[in-house]
Chain A
Amino acid sequence: MKIVVLGVGNILLSDEGVGVRAVERLRDDYILPPEVEIIDGGTSGMEMLEDLAHADHLLIVDAVRSGQQPGTIVKIAGEDVPVFFKTKLSPHQIGLSDVLATLVLTGEHPGSTTVIGVEPESLETAMALTPTVAAQMPKLVGILAEELRALGLTVAGKA
């Protein structure tokens, strides 16, 4: 089994980098089984083809603008995932959606895809998350761990 946890976003644009920060934190704080691959995708596209090919499940973490209060954590799953990509709520998804469309063409697309999103407060040029979004980080990383457990994996926090 291959499970990919993909953090996407630009860490130079404050809350835009929340996905990357979340997967770093997941990797640092949890003991993950070998079938889980953590990928810091940044804003890249076709470079991720090999990493995402043949994943049984893809868990994407990203800044998502869905009109909620800043810091709100949302989940997009099932038939809403393609709609999510179509509306391009986040600027770098043009790359990621192209990668996934390409994997459909090559017959290597992930078995299922879930997006965990965080409503950003600021996309200004800065390397730190806003306090609002940073405060949500423990909850966010906990949700990612729960998502992995729901797939039947053993995920324990590091002591």
Chain B
Amino acid sequence: MGTRITIDPITRIEGHLRIDCEVNGGKVTKSWASGQMWRGVEQILIGRDPRDAWAITQRICGVCTTVHAMASVRAVENALNLEVPLNAQYIRNMIMTAHAIHDHIVHFYHLSALDWVDVTSALKGDPAKTAQLAEGLSSWNRNSKHEFAAVKERLAGFVGTGQLGIFTNGYWGHPAMKLSPEVNLLAVSHYLQALEIQRYANKIVTILGSKSPHIQNVAVGGVSNPISLDSQSVLTIERLMAIRTLIDQLADFIKNVYVVDVSAIGAFYADWTAIGGGVTDYLSVPDMPLDTKGTVFDTPGGYVTGGDPATFKPIKAFGDPYFRDGVEESVKHSWYKGGKGALHPYKGETNPDYTDFQDNGKYSWVKSPTFYSKPAQVGPLARVMAGVATKHQPTMTYLNKVIDTVGALAHTKIPLSALHSTIGRHAARAVMCAVDVDSLSRQWDLLMANIAKGDTKTFNKPTFPKGEISGFGFHEAPRGVLSHWVVIDNGKIKNYQAVVPTTWNAAPRNEHDAIGPYEASLLGTPVADPERPLEVLRTVHSFDPCLACAVHIVDSEHQEIVKVKVL
């Protein structure tokens, strides 16, 4: 019997996740991932107008607002066989890529880099040596000695107040922290710069979506942005030019800083390319449609088994039966009433049945989805696998850049198989972020060209038939495959299910008791100090968990009471 570690909650993620591990001989030998929140949003949608579902589903989660809006309208459009005008596709694509870029930058720098970067060590970094190191890696114009000295001074002032603030929960000085003070100073400087840069991505979402965090411009059948190049209140040339500038600034940072930093951290932590793999069956979907029907896409998606791109089976279009018929969810180990085996989302049920944490029974609010009866890992790494399989040029360009940079710094040749790891997930996210910023740029060009042709159409009006219809919409969201499934009866929603990326990755054991991707990835992970399980956090964070949409609040009655003034 080894040591049992329970981490509850996992910090620096969205939502409430509990991880349990058994550690024997310094390594994880058994693990459980448990979502500690319940999601009942699907029940709210029953009986409502399908045209309103997107606005409601974007309230599921504060981080992933736009992605639920998009998957929802696509599901209803699929049920109606409704085409979407080209302008609307491009505008949606720009919102989706800008959102993904925001999400990836925030995830790497602000939610997970501190697992690898020791902020307190950065205070010992020499600005001149840091500048020398940085200039050898990239042509980014904010890598000067002066910049690093200023950051060091600012950081010292901040830490000197005795309040670590946003840095409070770090494992500072942990033996698994291996970067030199200079690399730490470089990373902390880019952490601060990323706080500025990520706002540019959000500004694009705000301009196109009318508002942020909850966009207002989506509609079943298109978007509600009127296009008029000379009117003030709509999508004008001025606004489009402002977006162009923001795209260029984002591209500069992503290609010259984010991709480079991930490569450098990957090289210094090369041992982590052999840790954290787990489930190597990968599922992604194609996205950024370039036609009105959703049959031609800017980025590919499909299914890869055993980590081998040669096994790739493509998902070809919105409504592809290969995707539709492969998805099921089991509640055998989840806190829902079951007994019917794994169910297809059109038949999915969400009736709570809480039992307490049972190692061999029910232990999570997250359902367990499978693709053709097997667990699948989703996320940027799955996209990279699809990109390699289809020789997708943008993916190959940035993947080769990362692999070459890591190889040069670590003085070794990095094989593709190194991607099946904790570091591999970070590398894949950076690669896809670069792919996305190029895609965003291309969507802008396409939109401008299409408008120049005189096409200003943005919306096809939906009409709902009598009787029952069903449809599903998928979206390759920042954390992976998101799908919404809707059954509509006489124009009203009869059933609705959202199968979200974190459900795939944080899945508990399934109908056949097979472990989910988080659980599998933790097996074999070294744990130096069970009291400070930084290594476990590194692997869990590498998936970019977002439990809020997997789920509800656990009430905690024991709260410390704050002094309040009753009005």
Contacts and interface: CB of A to CB of B under 8 A. Distances in A.
B230 to A, nearest CB: 26
A65 to B, nearest CB: 6
Contact of B548 (A43, A72, A106): A43
A66 interface: yes
Interface residues of A, number: 49
A49 B203 CA distance: 11
B166 to A, nearest CB: 4
Contacts of B559: 65, 87-89
A105 interface: yes
Contact of A11 (B40, B59, B166, B199): B59
A147 to B, nearest CB: 10
Nearest to B191: A105
B360 to A, nearest CB: 29
A83 interface: yes
Contacts of B198: 46, 49
Given A49-B195, A50-B199, A87-B559, 4 more contacts: A74-B565, A75-B567, A104-B158, A123-B553
B63 A89 contact: no
A73 interface: yes
Rank and list the top 3 A-B pairs by shortest CB-CB distance, nearest first. A43-B62, A44-B62, A125-B40
B63 A44 contact: yes
Nearest to A51: B212
Contact of A45 (B62, B158, B214): B62
Interface in B394-450: none
B564 A64 contact: yes
Contacts of A123: 552-553, 555
Interface in B497-530: none
A127 interface: yes
B5 interface: no
A102 interface: yes
Interface of A: 10-13, 16, 40-50, 64-68, 72-77, 80, 83-84, 87-89, 91-92, 95, 98, 101-102, 104-106, 116-117, 123, 125-127, 143
Q: Which of A46, A83, A88, A127 has the most CB of B within 10 A?
A: A46
Contact of A50 (B43, B44, B202): B202
Interface of B: 14, 16, 40-41, 43-44, 56, 59-63, 65, 102, 106, 110, 158, 165-166, 192, 195, 198-199, 202-203, 211-214, 548, 552-553, 555, 559-567
Contacts of B65: 42, 44
A46 B60 CA distance: 16
A74 B202 contact: no
A89 to B, nearest CB: 6
Given A43-B548, A76-B562, A143 B567 contact: yes
B566 A72 contact: yes
A98 to B, nearest CB: 6
Q: Which applies to chain A's interface (DSSP): helix, strand, loop or mixed? A: mixed
Contacts of A65: 559
A48 B563 CA distance: 27
A84 B14 CA distance: 20
Nearest to B203: A50
A75 B565 contact: yes
B564 A75 contact: yes
27 contacts: A11-B59, A12-B41, A12-B44, A42-B213, A42-B214, A44-B62, A44-B65, A46-B106, A47-B62, A48-B213, A49-B198, A66-B561, A66-B562, A67-B561, A74-B567, A75-B565, A76-B563, A80-B564, A95-B62, A102-B110, A104-B165, A104-B166, A105-B158, A105-B165, A123-B552, A123-B553, A125-B40
Contacts of B202: 47, 49-50
A89 B562 contact: yes
A106 B566 contact: no
B94 to A, nearest CB: 17
B207 to A, nearest CB: 12
Contact of A83 (B158, B563, B566): B563
Given A95-B62, A101-B165, A66 B564 contact: yes
Contacts of A83: 562-563
Given A12-B60, A40-B214, A44-B63, A87 B44 contact: no
Contact of A42 (B16, B62, B562, B566): B62
A19 to B, nearest CB: 13
B552 A13 contact: yes
Contacts of A117: 564
Nearest to B199: A50
Given A47-B212, A74-B566, A95-B14, A105 B166 contact: yes
B553 A102 contact: no
A106 B195 contact: yes
Contact of A106 (B192, B213, B563): B192
Contacts of A76: 562-565
Contact of B44 (A72, A101, A104, A127): A127
B213 A47 contact: yes
A95 B12 CA distance: 9
A125 B59 contact: no
Nearest to B155: A105
A12 B553 contact: no
Nearest to A76: B564
A88 B16 CA distance: 13
Contacts of B560: 87
Contacts of A67: 561
A22 B202 CA distance: 25
B553 A13 contact: yes
A103 to B, nearest CB: 9
Contact of B562 (A16, A48, A84, A127): A84
A125 B565 contact: no
A44 B213 contact: yes
Given A68-B566, A125-B552, A127-B44, A102 B561 contact: no
Nearest to B212: A47
A77 to B, nearest CB: 8
Q: Which of B195, B213, B563 has the most CB of A within 10 A?
A: B213
A126 B44 CA distance: 6
A48 B214 CA distance: 11
Contacts of A46: 102, 106, 110, 198
Nearest to A105: B166
A10 to B, nearest CB: 6
B59 A12 contact: yes
Given A16-B553, A125-B43, A126-B44, A74 B110 contact: no
Contacts of A102: 110, 166, 195
